[in-house]
Amino acid sequence: MSVSLEQLVYEAVTGNVGITALLATDAGHNPAFYLVQLPQQGNVYPAGVQQRISSPRLFVGGNPTIQANVGRARFQLTFWGYDAAVLEQIDRAVLAMLRTFDAFGSDSPPTVGQPGFISYSSRMLDEPQTQPVLFKVVIDVVFWFQDQ
């Protein structure tokens, strides 16, 4: 059974002490990092989410009806917190983790070029209607992958 890229990214973030040491813990004593959205009740900060944004595939040749086996998966990781300096540390910790992230394995969809063949960008923003001001760092990551 293969593991999804979503699961691999989630496990890489929650298994990295450089990141989890900066995150709050939720009521279940887990790092405050979730798939797609924050829980409705009991939000603690700093906390983050991840989601896959897109997975376009590359088609080669003249037959667009055949599914290409190479593509790129774009992920977005967003972290919120009241201290912008802590969010900057999280941003640096995620980048450091991704420099050695390797989704190429016997039970995973392989990425093209392993490890570290990624595109990475981040930006710091704030949530305008919050008091005190809630900051967020939005991280965009692109992985090239090849189906097995």
Confidence of residue 91 (pLDDT cuts 50, 70, 90): very high
Six-digit token string for 77: 């990781």
Q: Give pLDDT tens digits for 44-63.
A: 899 999 998 887 766 666 66
What percentage of residues in the chain have a pLDDT greater than 70? 74
Confidence of residue 26 (pLDDT cuts 50, 70, 90): confident
Q: Where are the domains of the chain?
A: 5-146
* C-alpha closest to that of 118 among 106, 105, 104, 108: 104
pLDDT at 2 over 50: yes
Residues 77 and 31: beta-carbon distance below 8 Å: no
pLDDT greater at residue 13 or residue 67: 13
Q: Where are the alpha helices (DSSP H) in 15-136?
A: 17-20, 84-100
* C-alpha closest to that of 96 among 7, 25, 16: 16
Adjacent-strand bridge partners of 50: 35, 77
CA dihedral sign of residues 59, 60, 64, 70 = negative
Q: What is the pLDDT of residue 116?
A: 45
DSSP states of 64-84 as a string?
TTSPPSEEEEEEEEEEEES-H
What is the fold, at CATH topology level, of the domain defined by 5-146?
Answer: STM4215-like (3.30.2000)
pLDDT greater at residue 26 or residue 110: 26
Task: Identify the residue whose tokens are 């890229």.
Answer: 5
Confidence of residue 144 (pLDDT cuts 50, 70, 90): confident
Lowest mean pLDDT among 5-14, 89-98, 124-133, 138-147: 138-147
Residues 46 and 79: beta-carbon distance below 8 Å: yes
Extended strands (E) in the chain: 33-35, 47-54, 57-58, 70-81, 118-127, 134-146
Confidence of residue 1 (pLDDT cuts 50, 70, 90): very low
pLDDT greater at residue 3 or residue 92: 92
